[in-house]
Structure 1
Amino acid sequence: MSRRPFTPKVVAANALLDGDAVWLTADDRWTRDMAEAELIEDEAVAEDRLIHALSQGHEVVGAYLVDAKATAEGPAPTHFREAFRTRGPSNYRHGKQADASRGL
Structure 2
Amino acid sequence: MPRPFTPKVVTANDLLEGDVIYFTADNTWTRELSQAELITDEAEAQLRLLEAEKQNISIVGAYLADAKGGENGPEPTHFREEFRRTGPSNYSHGKQEARSDV
Q: What TM-score range do you get, normalising by the shorter chain?
A: over 0.9
Alignment of 1:1-104 (within 5 A): 2-100=1-99, 102-103=100-101
Unaligned 5+ runs, structure 2: none
Offset, 1:30 = 0.5
Residue segments in structure 1 that go unaligned for 5+ positions in a row: none
Separation (CA, whole Å) in 2 of partners of 1:33 and 1:10: 12
Amino acid in the other structure paired with 1:46: A
In the TM superposition, residue 51 of structure 1 has moved relative to its aligned partner by: 0.7
Q: TM-score, normalised by structure 2?
A: 0.94
By how many angstroms is 1:55 displaced? 1.2
The alpha-carbon deviation at position 70 of structure 1 amounts to: 0.1
TM-fit CA distance, 1:99: 3.1
Query: Could you say what the CA RMSD is over the residues aligned between the two structures, in angstroms?
Result: 1.3
Distance 1:92 1:16 in 2: 22
- Bigger mean CA deviation after superposition, 90-99 or 31-40: 90-99
Per the TM alignment, residue 91 of structure 1 is displaced from its structure 2 partner at its CA by 3.3
Q: TM-score, normalised by structure 1?
A: 0.92
Q: Distance in 1 between matches of 2:43 and 2:55?
A: 19
In structure 2, give the amino acid aligned to 1:61: V
Residues 72-92 of structure 1 show CA distances to partners (whole Å, capped at 9, x for unaligned) of: 100000000000011112333
